[in-house]
Amino acid sequence: MTQKNEGRLLIKNVLVTTFNKDPVLPLLKELKSLSVNFYSTGGTLEFMQKHNIDATSIESVTSYPSIFDGRVKTLHPKIFGAILSKRDEESHFSEAKKYDIPFIDMVIVDLYPFEETLQSGASSQEIIEKIDIGGISLIRAAAKNFNNVLVVPEASHYNICAEILKKQNGYVTLEQRKEFALKAFDVSSHYDTKIYEFFNEGMPESFKASISVANILRYGENPHQKGVFYGNLDDVFHKLQGKPLSYNNLLDIEAALNLINEFSKPTFAIIKHNNACGVGSADNITDAYKKAFSSNPISAFGGILISNYNITEESAYLINNLFFEVIIAPSYDSEAIEKLSSKKNRIILKLKKKHFQKKQYRSVINGVLVQDSDSIMSDSENWEIVTQEKPTSKEVEDLIFANKIVKHTKSNAIVLAKNNHLLGSGTGQTSRIDALKQAIDKAKEFDLDINGAVMASDAFFPFPDSIELANKAGINSVIQPGGSIRDKESIEFCDNNKISMVFTGIRHFKH
């Protein structure tokens, strides 16, 4: 029987089957120094032989060849019997001897790269071919029988395992085998979830999600709350400097990315508590920043800054005067980096690619809400001009600008804008008239002239009172979804006061 000593297992027989070969070589060399017996198949066996590591072929154990273009290699009773048998039960020991089944003490697997193939834009057939069957079965079998078998389920665990074996002279403890079994079920559940997501392109019947990268945060929304971020930020950003991102930073960064993706003209935005407190578009990023900062200089303090264009030395000189936590841009002049990095805690992020989530998730009560991301933006060609007065070309430009911002503002939301400049916004109010009052007050607080400005609303106006107040403030044009049973009253007021109003037919609630 396999040697054990107070839960310790001496590794003698090892099954190896990997897709990527090179990463496993150091572990194999460590095992070779411990004089283990190797079993392998196909390309892995050839790789081992190339590196002077002897191994017994799986085919010689099963007396069965690899068939169907390698789709079936390890799926055989002798292989799974070698892994699943209980070494301390006499009946299992007898059956293994009867059917000439070796005891496998260790299984090393690296699965077909399904997720990587999916992300590469490969064809459906290529993706399906990368669904591993034998490998995932080996992982589950070895993990189930952790009392008798050590499983190493992916390349990221090879070095850890090699260090354990070297330190313990080929032995592994029961606790260590159980830890590796946990890793194995993490790998298998993640793998199966990604396959499930691939086949469920719409809204699946059951909720499953798996992200294999965990980042422990200093705390959650508040210091007394624990926080973790599951995801790989390296896919989206290159971090140039700064302290670790916090829970609240990540929420604001998400809001900043979603907003800036709406704009193609040089645009700068400043985000606080998931809302834009400053936005400006201009012919260059310096002027765009000036507009964004002037929207609300007080709220800009400590905000998240984002640009869709290169940060120049000139713009960095102005930005550097502001206290902020994070700045995000697709590129920076070297002089701009030197200027902005003068304060070491500042987080400077270089955006690698546009970020957009197709689905949004939120935990509620004892479940999860899932919805498609709000990816629709009404095109001016599809607007319905519902008033006698038509918006001028300049007003149309501002209406488009304001509507992009209000889409990403907490409901109830109102945005006032002029000359591609956010003048004031009302965010998260319990009534639309209160949101408008807040927007007007903010503009006045910073001496921003709203006479001739436009107004955007995330949802319809239930009463004409907001239109009446906007008129008193000097608003000339309005954009809203429409759809209120009292739309006619708002339209009549506009017609009587020479205000243009357009309906988009698209609501942008954001709770």
Q: Which two tokens stand for residue 41?
A: 């198949």
* Gap between the Cα atoms of 380 and 390, Å rounded: 12
Nearest CA to 380 out of 396, 394, 392, 401 is that of: 396
Percent of the chain with pLDDT over 90: 75
**How is residue 31 written in tokens?**
């095992």
Q: How confident is the model at residue 82 (pLDDT cuts 50, 70, 90)?
A: confident
Split at pLDDT 50, 70, 90, the class of 281 is very high
User: Scanning the structure block, which residue is given the tokens 């006698």?
Assistant: 388
Q: Tell me, what's the pLDDT at 206?
A: 80
DSSP state of 262: T
Domains in the chain, CATH or no CATH each: 4-199 (3.40.50.1380), 233-351 (3.40.140.20), 380-503 (3.40.140.20)
Q: Whose structure tokens read 């980042």?
A: 215
- Tell me, what's the pLDDT at 6? 57
pLDDT of residue 4: 47
Tell me phi and psi for residue 303, to 5 degrees.
-85, 180
Does residue 161 carry a pLDDT above 90? yes
First and final C-alpha spacing in the chain? 63
- Tell me the average pLDDT across 475-482: 96
Tell me the residue type at 289. Answer: Y
Query: Which comes out higher in pLDDT, residue 210 or 510?
Result: 510
Tens-place pLDDT, residues 430-449:
999 999 999 999 999 999 99
Q: What is the mean pLDDT of residues 33-55?
A: 92
Q: Which residues are part of the catalytic machinery?
A: 144, 273
